[in-house]
Chain A
């Protein structure tokens, strides 16, 4: 039994990297179907949320159309990225890195401030959240960094950390604590997949823990309150604990089968803050109950395990690290968002993949999944006989 790459040697340019029929068959169908199901799930819950929002004054159909448009763009982006050999991503990693830093810097300079944070820029009439793309792009950059170096060397690890530090700092300054944490979680996941020595990872984690008081001091008061209050939301039910209590009530009141789509009361009456993004899971659990949430979990798990399988089968180190990084990043986002909604984690505003409304999140994830499909199509396969 032997294994051989189905991939051709890297083409002269991404534009010359033509797909072959054989390669298309090697798409990870499970991942693709799961992706489409999740996008569909997101459209349904998004529609339900819009219907429930009595303060929403726009056209519900148009809102749904916007969701569909994002989905179409996402799928298109995913297809294009899948067709291009993922190695090209590695090749352009330095450009991607500089572009990411540029985008993040622009947000800080020109972005409007909402709710005390500056996260958006408007490009051609579309609200665009660079930090969402930054997460995916930094997976690419770090994967390339580790792939080209000896991962077991502490310098590689520290170098990667240094590369990450700049965007993390920019995001932290928005301030967007949640995304900063996702970056760090993704870094450890990626380094772990890449085979970094455990003691080195542990040492970095320990050093980070030692630096926590400094970080804590640099947090704004509301961030500190949100981080602590999840331990006992009822200590300040009208203030910092409000979001958590209302979210728990929404989730709990969904019971086994939920109140039905568009029939929830917590989100429409405004008890769920930021019901369309940060606390979107609470609205879903209220509408569709435990069953609906469990279906979502299963889809997520299939998606994540598929990503890990792609990492396992990748032709090259860059592909493995990229897939591992995407998997851990998505897992980290899901767990933090859901954990926040059910009071297992502190409240940090990060979107729930596929379910939260917003084109930036969906399109950036589609970009990452396109890269995964690209890796899958260019993997080494068993050849029988």
Chain B
């Protein structure tokens, strides 16, 4: 209580970092945009920025579900595989029936697969890493069996709806998928920060035993997170068909790791209980901005991967440092 002024200021900075985990990533995003705008002639244009957002959409939506799960100190390795299975079901059903049924069936399938992971994690208390690793293998193989080595082009209007383009103010090119994606992030942000459910998700990620002792229904909350993530993967499947109207069992093979990358770069802690969806949105955009900017600066794709990988390590290191300082 009689701390030196200099000491107090340092505590306040780490307090700021802890309190607003999206702050650092946001600065990094602005910095990256500024740098690429200066270094290349083509980066800073409405069309390119719009494309950057569009390219981050599917992984961003997957990362939204991933964020919910990581906040509970879990992880989901199966999310992209679940989404791909969803696209296959949607595409196949749309070939024989109407689009709405296909869409709802696809989302339902993803919700069911998500809740299987959730059920195994909550009722049998298995580690999420192992459960979703198993789910990844099973679901990916099931997709291939179901697709029988084929891919399915989609011509249905409803399933391709999210890829539809129009111009805001006559200049800014947007797709419906972009608007839906932003809406989903806002809803998730609201649910996490403004409702009791969100509080319980954070408390559960912080310390499940403490959460239980304060009367929070820990298993119920944990299960709900996996179920909601499953529904989000279903919507990601719809997004994916909007971007590329073709359901391919071999697509998005690194989608799970890409989504984890976006979450971690966005400042959410892999140990749970810290971070948030706005950070993930920023994280997904950072990855996309890096790809686009480095491509336009003429840098080889492999070096882009190196840059992304280093960024992940940096983000985790910063998270650890901030946490250690607060101790």
Q: Do A and B bind each other?
A: no
Where the two chains meet, the residues of A that have a C-beta atom closer than 8 Å to any C-beta of B are: none
